[in-house]
Amino acid sequence: MKRILIAEDEPGIVSFLEKGLRAAGFITHAVGDGRTAGEIARDRDFDLLILDLGLPGRDGHDVLSEIRSRGERMPVIILTARRGIDDTVGGLESGADDYVTKPFRFEELVARVKVRLRDQGTPDPLVLDSAGIRLDLKTRKATVGGKEVALSAREFNLAEMFFRHPGQVLSRQQLQSQVWGFDFDPNSNVVDVYVGYLRKKMGADLIETVRGMGYRLSAD
């Protein structure tokens, strides 16, 4: 499993990122200040860094410059509320691989993470299948028993989340953060509604309800 270092000082964002990235199959470690970020990026083996520019103690630009000056080439995605062109250009010139501004949708961020890790040689399946159901991630088509089933973009993303974690219980919060993103209403019942859509289109027994915990893809 790939290890991601998160350098961010806002507890809510840290919690959101860790839950979502772990649900997506990554190992995470979070730090809240620039000095620690620079030290731990040197002392431990991480595959990617998500770096906030406005860190206390030491600015994210300085952290990035230090990491690159040591010759470390792990991908770095800058995550910041700064929207000025100078910040964007400065971050990229300092050695960042990508740039995401707050507020953001988690599905966009995790897609960028996967691209950067894939560039490092991480294989990513093009087809997911279980119990006669097939998801083609390249064409974004779903088939059940050999027959194509029309899924909306959200339905496909939700199905992909389940198929990537067969047999694993996924909480509503994990599913919501992965599929609907950071700025989505946490009190919404949208996950339950869309699970219902998938059951109607792909099979009533496809997704099991685990009372008090969430949902999981049936092993059968």
How do residues 137-169 score in pLDDT, each as one tens digit? 878 899 999 999 999 988 998 998 899 888 888
- Report the domain count for the chain: 2
Do 23 and 46 lie in a common domain? yes
Band of pLDDT at residue 6, cut at 50, 70 and 90: very high
Which string of DSSP letters, residue by residue, matches 6-28? EE---HHHHHHHHHHHHHTT-EE
The whole domain housing 113 covers 3-119
The residue from 119, 153, 185 where one domain ends is 119
> Is residue 128 classed as helix, strand or coil in its secondary structure?
strand
The residue from 89, 119, 149 where one domain ends is 119
Region 101-111: mean pLDDT is 82
Indicate the pTM of the whole model.
0.57
Q: Say which DSSP state 125 is in.
A: -
Do 65 and 145 lie in a common domain? no
Q: Residue 135: which CATH number?
A: 1.10.10.10
Helix orientation angle between 11-23 and 106-119, rounded to the nearest 10 degrees = 60
24-75 residue pLDDT tens: 888 899 999 999 998 888 756 788 999 998 899 888 888 888 888 877 788 9
Mean pLDDT of the chain: 83
Q: Which residues contact 42 (CB under 8 A, 6 or more apart)?
A: 67, 70, 72
Q: Residue 15: which CATH number?
A: 3.40.50.2300
Region 111-135: mean pLDDT is 78
